[in-house]
Structure 1
Amino acid sequence: MTPLAETFRDDWGRVLAALIGLLGDFDLAEEAAQEAFAVAAERWPRDGVPSNPRSWLVTTARNRAIDRIRRERTLAEKTRQLTPPAVAHDETDEMDATRFPDERLELIFTCCHPALATEAQVALTLRTLGGLGTAEIARAFLVPEPTMAQRLVRAKRKIKAAGIPFRVPADHLLPDRLAAVLAVVYLIFNAGYSAPADNELTREALRLGRALAELMPDEPEIHGLLALMLLHDARRAARVDGGALVLLADQDPSRWDRRQIAAGRAALERALALRGNGPYVVQAAIASLHAELPRDWPQIAALYGELARLTGSPVVELSRAVAVAEADGPAAGLAIAEKVPLDGYHYLHATRGELLRRLDRVEQARDAYRRALELVHDDAERRLLERRLAAL
């Protein structure tokens, strides 16, 4: 990887956040950042990489933006406010990074403002902090590129029209707003994790999780989410075989990434040291137990019970049914699953099919698997269900 590509990967979000903070305009900041990287692509191979690449990029982008404002003559007052002290251009290489504070935190809270629709929050977060192109985001979420472009345009317009502030919310608003930020990051992760052949989105989610942990080190739920994502992604290589999904119980543990599991457990320990007991911390604790063999199913079932209490989610209750089936037998698990109100959810019927199969209620198991096949959309999961049905 070239130094410029490395800088783009590591610092795009920081450069853009700094520029939005300086300029107060998403589009102008993004165009200026792109121009700065284009200038770098021309000059760095010839002149060498600056000692402080990020500061060089921010300074170059800011100067380009100011030149544009001057040319257009529409923001004269803003130009006077933004004009930096006279600095020779070749001196920008040596500028102290503290001149441009890390404003990614303000940027992610702006992208995830509750005034924006969830799909717009996700798209804007990937575009600004992740540096993904519109076409890449559209492919990841299986929508046409023009549709995704419109979402981004509408989101930016709403931020401008509604005067959504570029700042971290006040303390009394932080818990709800942080929950929205974490939900967006987890949505991004799951969008990539559900497509095992393409982990670009999971990489972006992990990068965002690490950035949040760095920016807000005392928030246990951030460390809980990071731990959860690391522990899940550590099993990626074992999740698919021959194009079919492999259930956790059937996975080959030798294919799990043990180093990443250790990193996930370290993040979980940090969350627990901060006395975290929220939904992401509990889910991470469950994921950590799943990485131990033999599994402590009674403990996993108990944690799912706590998670169901915290969230009130029928999906969590279905997961509890699976854990109870492992701890106390398929009949106990089926009794819980039969009460879960998720008839349109293929996982419910797949779970019922598996538990009914274990109870030798073959015809009912077949019906459950057929219903799951009617509802499933993912090809890898479809192949797994077809195999289970054929085995009956």
Structure 2
Amino acid sequence: MIPGRSSFPEGFVFGAATAAYQIEGHRFGGAGPTHWDSFAATPGNVVRAEDGATACDHYHRYEEDLDLLKDGGFDAYRFSTSWARVLPEGRGTPNAEGLDYYDRLVDAMLERGLTPFQTLYHWEMPSALADLGGWTNPDVAHWFADYAEVITRRLGDRVASIATINEPWCVAFLSHFLGHHAPGLRDIRAAARAMHHVLKAHGTAVERLRGMGQDTLGIVLNFEAAEPADDSAGAARAAAVQDAIYNRWFIEAISKGQYPAEALEGLEPHMPKGWQDDMALISQPIDFLGVNYYTRSLLRAAPDQPWPSVAPVEGPLPKTQMGWEIYPEGLKIILTRLSRDYVGELPLYVTENGMAWDDHLTDGAVTDAEREAYMAAHLGAVQQARAEGANMKGFFYWSLLDNYEWAFGYEKRFGMVHVDFDSLKRTPKASYHALSAALAR
């Protein structure tokens, strides 16, 4: 059974999370093109070449969606604002329609008693800036801070918190080294620069918003429990390298002003000149840390491959529709490690946690007992982390709605609300009702 609200401390925030490009419908309201539009239009990148042009049409249906949160007893909504909707060219003249839309959206949250948790960037780089190199261009930090200022001047008086970047590992490494997300590069020089510039953009935006008097600023990092696949020294080394790239790079830069040696071994020769001078900006204090967690990775050495010379091994645990192992213990491990080694008493929020499943609507309902069990186990892990000293302040399920799941198109369903992508009809799943009942207890 999903732990009830009463088993968490008073003031603990329960919410659900979404992202602009995944739900809004990017063709509406004067938004400019993004690198995801062109990535999806290139054969082989996205399942069925699907894009976010319509998505869930949250742009027009946001009141219905927010009612689902209110009626379910949730406290908060984590949403993102689209850079290309606010500034269609990435710079220059703001889009009045886009700003007005986000005004209406935030006001509608407040009218329903929902606390707005904003994320500034959830992966949709405006195409005009992608043409200039996007995250590989050193000027991106200032472009991003300018965008942050524009949208914060409109919303900053009403949002409860602002996260700068969602999952910088995905923004930089997954997208510029592994090539799985836009812009789809497989280039270590581009990856090294993006890995640094995304953090410099975070720091520049925090500095800019602090100067405007804004508080409750943070970032959302994704973590994966990186474990050796066997007892060999090679597997231990592979896990350490993966941990350095995926987990430690971002949190050590932010909390300690340094990058881990195991990651610099491969990336430092390709880093921008003078990168060390940016570390004070990157490591300035933040007010909270968002933690996204889904699974673990088991690693073995791959000496026949270039750096990082690691390869994943399929694990034995039950898996989600994404093929990810269900490993709630990893969430507790990550949260307690963050508290112990990096952030101390800094407030921690689980900003994303959830599972994709092959859900089917049958007789007007979706039975997803697997998702209910996933929620129960991971909320239990949050309770364990809190008992071991982590300053846990909230939990956001990913996601409110079935949506556009990036390179997987509309095939993978993470929502606790089913969306028929033809009619766009919303149907709360059994997991939604179960979590709602837990919040009422």
Structure 1 length-normalised TM: 0.29
Structure 2 length-normalised TM: 0.27
Higher relative contact order (CA 8 A, sep 6+): 2
Structure ID, larger Rg? 1
* Larger relative helix fraction: 1
